[in-house]
Amino acid sequence: MPTIIAFHDVGGVLHLPVALQRFPEARLVCYNRVSTWSNAGPGKHLLEEKTAALYRAVRQITDRRSHHIEHGIEPGQVTISGWRPCLRRAATEARQCGAILVTMDLSRFIRAMAYSRTQNRNAWPTAAEFAKLHELTLGVPLATVESPQLSESQRHSLATKRSGRAGRPRIPYELAAEIFTAVDMIYVSDGGRVEWIPSLRKLARAFGVSATTITRLVYRPVQSDGVTWWDLFHPTCKSVHNGFAYYPSKCVPKRQ
């Protein structure tokens, strides 16, 4: 059985600045969720936008690197069955690398079983529900970007401001840089198909975005002179599977 860490905050969930002080050597694992497919949007683009907002908010607080980003569609309630697969995966990753598990606000970690958007918006999780949350998350440190003491109206107001713009998500430069720094190779196979190492699926899962989003990023300008992420990959004379191999430049440039 995991050892549940005792914290002195809201149900054992810390405000991120406090968690960073308490665990000065810990890395970060980011977690985000929405409750329904409609909240995620077509192609999950709204979920990706909210996850990108979480990443930006964390980077505004600390330059400590995010080791992993996990997001998905699942309920906020922590039931007896504990069905929260995305949260469990994020917690497992955090435990393996000794990280703080971070999300935007308390509602992303837990909703009271008594919560109802129309009937009981201000329902607060019970001590037993918080205990179940810590059991589900394997006792890893839990932290929120927004204060975990926010009321539901305050939390909802901030969430509305964060998601106020429409359209496709704009992946922050810092996250795009981390994605492409993690790429080992892009090459054209014998059949003319572009292949990625690691695969697009693995990259998407590691950084909490879709494979389509990463593909779109390839031709996105990185600098003011119009240089794209693809321009940072240079062709070599070596062939791979009789195709053309491209290796990324590991020196990610600073924005100009």
The answer as to whether 102 is a domain residue is yes
The answer as to whether 65 is a domain residue is yes
Is residue 99 domain-shared with residue 70, that is, in the same domain? yes
Task: Quote the pLDDT of residue 110.
Answer: 93
Looking at 162, 184, 200, the residue that finishes a domain is 162
Q: What is the domain-level CATH number for residue 148?
A: 3.40.50.1390
Task: Quote the pLDDT of residue 85.
Answer: 92
Nearest to 65 by CA among 172, 161, 178, 184: 178
**Residues β-bridged to residue 233:** 248
The answer as to whether 203 is a domain residue is yes
Task: Quote the pLDDT of residue 232.
Answer: 67
Is residue 217 domain-shared with residue 100, that is, in the same domain? no
Is residue 114 domain-shared with residue 80, that is, in the same domain? yes
Buried b (16+ CB within 10 A) or exposed e, 97-127: eebbbbbbbbbbbbbbbebeeeeeeeebbee
Task: Quote the pLDDT of residue 244.
Answer: 46
Looking at 134, 162, 190, the residue that finishes a domain is 162
For residue 77, the 8-state DSSP code is B
Total structural domains within the chain:
2
Is residue 153 domain-shared with residue 30, that is, in the same domain? yes
Looking at 119, 135, 162, the residue that finishes a domain is 162
DSSP 107-149: HHH-B-TT-BTTTBTT----HHHHHHHHHHTTT--EEESS-TT
On whether the CB atoms of residues 20 and 96 are closer than 8 A, the answer is no
The answer as to whether 254 is a domain residue is no
CA dihedral 141, 145, 149, 154 (to 10 degrees): -150
Task: Quote the pLDDT of residue 1.
Answer: 32
Per-residue model confidence as pLDDT tens digits over 78-102: 875 567 999 999 999 999 999 999 9
The answer as to whether 143 is a domain residue is yes
3-state secondary structure of 75: coil
Is residue 140 domain-shared with residue 24, that is, in the same domain? yes
Is residue 154 domain-shared with residue 202, that is, in the same domain? no
Task: Quote the pLDDT of residue 46.
Answer: 84
Is residue 180 domain-shared with residue 56, that is, in the same domain? no
The answer as to whether 243 is a domain residue is yes
The answer as to whether 61 is a domain residue is yes
Is residue 202 domain-shared with residue 123, that is, in the same domain? no
Taking 70 as the pLDDT cut, the residues of the chain under it are 1-10, 80-82, 159-170, 187-192, 223-226, 231-256
On whether the CB atoms of residues 196 and 183 are closer than 8 A, the answer is yes
What are the Cα distances from residue 116, in Å, to 13, 119, 123, 131, 157? 22, 5, 8, 21, 17
Is residue 220 domain-shared with residue 110, that is, in the same domain? no
Task: Quote the pLDDT of residue 3.
Answer: 38
Element (H, E) at 28: strand 27-34
The answer as to whether 1 is a domain residue is no
Is residue 49 domain-shared with residue 94, that is, in the same domain? yes
On whether the CB atoms of residues 142 and 105 are closer than 8 A, the answer is no
CA dihedral 237, 239, 242, 197 (to 10 degrees): -140
Domain membership of residue 136 as a residue range? 13-162
Element (H, E) at 71: strand 66-73
Task: Quote the pLDDT of residue 32.
Answer: 95
Rounded Cα distance, 192 and 197, in Å: 16
Task: Quote the pLDDT of residue 204.
Answer: 84
Is residue 112 domain-shared with residue 28, that is, in the same domain? yes
Is residue 157 domain-shared with residue 183, that is, in the same domain? no
Task: Quote the pLDDT of residue 235.
Answer: 45
